[in-house]
Amino acid sequence: MTRTRVKICCISSVKEAEMAMAAGADALGFVAAMPSGPGIVSDATIRAVTADVPPPVATFLLSSRATGTDLAEHVRHCGTNTVQIVDHIDPAELAVLAVSLPMVRRVQVIHVEGPEALDLIPRYEPYIHAFLLDSGKPGGTMRELGGTGRTHDWAVSAEFVKRTGKPVFLAGGLRAGNVAEAIATVKPFGVDLCSGVRTDGHLDQDKLDAFMAAVRGA
């Protein structure tokens, strides 16, 4: 059986990073400036925390920038080894990013609003290392690019996993009580969450331990 990887998002301090890594997290997510959503921290904080994260733990910069040049500049400034592109940007910009920072891993977020999400696989697949399926609404009046705490249609996500050759992370409303079902249904490479392991915005040790135990049990 393949082990399901875990990414703990909305990391805001060295203490939270240490808690997540001690619990067994494979990756840490850092939320930069966004139009909405929880867990936003300054670029300076991201850089300070990632400086202390040892390999092989991956550090994801969640960036809402829309051009390859701006994304590359953002990653250089924050010092992460992975960039999570949270909007459905022009794929040509990912090609620019790949040339600018070839050693940085590129993860494209797909917001699963319906079966049309499957049409985005060939659009982005040539330019990225992994997908992350989330529950935002990038085209709405109030643009949501993640951190909604909502689940989406896992049947679409399961079909997405079947159709792509890239690893897929599943996000959106995950918690200890539903992650086993999510893994069984979607069979993702990894799972990703923010609010599901937090209380009043802070990483909660009990919720974190329960979530990691549920993933291992699945």
Q: How far is it, in rounded angstroms, from Cα 179 to Cα 63?
A: 25
Biggest CA-to-CA distance, the chain? 43
E strand residue ranges, 52-111:
58-63, 82-85, 105-111
Rounded to the nearest angstrom, the gap between the alpha carbon of residue 161 and the centroid of all alpha carbons in its chain is 16
DSSP state of 199: E
Q: What is the pLDDT along the chain (218 residues), one digit of tens a residue?
A: 589 999 999 999 999 999 999 999 999 999 998 777 778 999 999 999 999 999 999 999 999 999 999 999 999 999 999 999 999 999 999 999 999 999 999 999 999 989 999 999 999 999 999 999 997 666 655 666 666 678 889 999 999 999 999 999 999 999 999 999 999 999 999 999 999 999 999 999 999 999 999 999 99
Cβ atoms 79, 103 nearer than 8 A: no
Q: How far is it, in rounded angstroms, from Cα 90 to Cα 123?
A: 9
What is the b/e burial string over 147-164, where b = at least 16 CB atoms within 10 angstroms of the residue's CB?
A: bbbebbebebbbbbbeeb
pTM: 0.94
